[in-house]
Amino acid sequence: RMQNSRSKPCSCPSLKMREVASMYFTMVAAFLVILVVALQGSAPRESDFPYKVPLDPQGLLELSWNVSYPEQAVHFQLLIRELQFGILFGMSDRGEFENADLAVLWSDGHNSYFGDAWSDAKGQLHMDSQQDYQLLGARRAPEGLYLLFRRAFSTCDPKDYLIEDGTVHLIYGILEKPVRSLQAINVSALHGGLQRVQLLKPNISIPELPRDMKTMEITAPDVVIPSQETTYWCYMAELPEGFPKHHIIMYEPVVTAGNEALVHHMEVFQCAAAFDSFPHYNGPCDSKMKPERLNYCRHVLAAWAMGAQAFYYPEEAGLAFGGPGSSRYLRLEIHYHNPLVFKGRRDSSGIRLYYTATLRPHDAGIMELGLVYTPVMAIPPGEDSFILTGYCTDKCTQLALPAAGIRIFASQLHTHLAGRKVVTVLSRDGRERQVVNADGHYSPHFQEIRMLKEVVAVFPGDELITTCTYNTEDRSRATVGGFGILEEMCVNYVHYYPQTQLELCKSAVDPGYLHRYFNLVNRFNDEEICMCPQVSVPEQFYSIPWNTFNRDVLKSLYGFAPISMHCNKSSAVRFP
């Protein structure tokens, strides 16, 4: 958890200090008694905590926060609507209650206590000798109890979670009975769960918005949310006839009041201009009734995930829509997450687009980086962190980018279910220069378009290298690249300006070298792998006995073998 703290020197207390701290702790605990009633303060303003997310599906726990980069700290405000005997709140690698870093409020029925704790690999709680969740206050209000506390990004405490850019898995647990002590809390019996957020939001100044700005809401038409845990809902909308070219300059979520905990993420796609018309549709995306043609609505205009704010384009660029060569048809997709299986909930959520007829100097574009969707890239079963890398090479950027370069201002990382980490770096003259976007706790269930802290300039001859780390410990056969949910992808959709013809800059291993790998495996193993040309690459991967030798050779093949490069224009035509 401390792997990144080298870059920031911290003064850590010496061991003696720590021993003293832990001896005093039993005494300190007595001072942590919160006399909540006595702490009647004035309510903090909503603007003090600009980011907000419900933690549980019922919306009983609501977290708001702000980020101070000068202080390198996060301030949290947790609203507990129906407090019983306490609450656990914290962070862990992937949302587990084991090896977690926790702030705990608990009551023994007489007094209430607050402290910084950690859980071990068995889920047993321990008070932390270094108290890094600092309680700033608590107050009762008609809607519930507000707890205010602060936590530094990096604390130099090996038991603490290091808060980094990217996804953070927050965990919560509700104490329904009084507990004698912190150690008496049984984590496995708690009513609890997890919520994913990007805690460290970029500190971006909001661009000035033009006077002639208009809005358009693409929202679900009062649909009844199905009473099942997961639903992807599709709704077709269309722009008015003869709608001229405009620039989208910002967008924000519109979430029906009361459904904040159910609307997990939403996307608006534009359909392919090749078709004159698209059928109307309003229903589940996986339904047999969904017209086949809707699969041609894949060009992302806007994407939002729970906890995200409004998305702003930089003032010199906008996303073009409308006008000739642009489809009038849009597809709204909403992911409803309804684990408590509420029945009959109605919803009209969606996305509000802000657009202008006064075009900005540049059209924004979206480019795909990473790996081509092909089965030649595969992950053996039973791997805890298998790495695949896709390249956008210097030859491709040399051909396709303007001399003045492009500016990347946002990025959306994408894998399927086995993805655990994704990072894209910019390399120039053979040296890594800058991280474009990195998520060390990436989750395929939380994919949002993220504004970058700083714009990344990419020039002809630069390389963009995207690396994905996968976990296949729960799988018994190889996972190949492809479009299916049990196949894998490694993609970074980067949002940039000015728009170029380059829509896709990706690679895969050279298929001829993969064929040599299959030959080698055949020679070294007793079992025959059928190498006949009519057997598909996935079938060949599925028949490999995954011993250490076969795994290691595949790893090194991906590391050194020549690559096949895809440097594509929008019409899927390759640059020469």
Do 51-197 and 365-513+563-569 show the same overall fold? no
**Residues 20, 22, 28, 34, CA torsion sign:** positive
Local structure of residue 163 (DSSP, 8 states): -
Q: How far apart are CA 165 and CA 450, in angstroms?
A: 11
Residues of the chain with confidence (pLDDT) below 70:
1-47, 526-533, 570-572
Residue written as token pair 């919560």: 172
CA quadruple 469, 474, 480, 481: dihedral positive or negative? negative
Whole-structure pTM value:
0.85
- What topology does CATH give the domain 365-513+563-569? Jelly Rolls (2.60.120)
In 156-186, which positions are buried (b, 16+ CB within 10 angstroms) versus exposed (e)? bbebbbbbbbbbbbbbbbbbeeebeebeebe
Give the integer Cα–Cα distance in Å for 340 and 353. 31
Of residues 429, 270, 401, 261, the one with CA closest to residue 342 = 261
Q: What is the crossing angle of helices 511-524 and 548-560, to 10°?
A: 160
So what's the pLDDT on residue 40? Answer: 42
Give me the active site residues, please: 232, 414
Per-domain residue ranges for the chain?
51-197, 213-360, 365-513+563-569
pLDDT at 576: 78
pLDDT for 230 equals: 87
Res 251: pLDDT: 95
Count of helices and strands (H, E) across the chain:
5, 36
The pair of three-digit structure tokens given for residue 238, joined into one six-digit string? 């269309």
CATH of 213-360, one of 1.10.1530.10, 1.20.1740.10, 2.40.390.10, 2.60.120.310: 2.60.120.310
Closest CA to 520 of 542, 491, 495, 550: 550
Locate tokens 């019922």: which residue?
A: 58
Tell me the fold of 51-197: Immunoglobulin-like (2.60.40)
Q: Please tell me the predicted confidence (pLDDT) of residue 6.
A: 39
Reduce the DSSP state of residue 28 to 3 states and report it: helix
Residue of 447, 440, 451, 442 whose CA lies nearest to 419: 442
pLDDT tens per residue across span 531-561: 666 789 999 999 999 999 999 999 999 999 9
Tell me: the pLDDT tens digits for 252-294?
999 999 998 899 889 999 999 989 999 999 999 989 999 999 9
3-state SS class at 400:
helix
Instruction: Give the side-chain half-sphere CA count within 13 A for 146.
Output: 22
Element (H, E) at 21: helix 15-31
Predicted local distance difference test score (pLDDT) of residue 530: 63
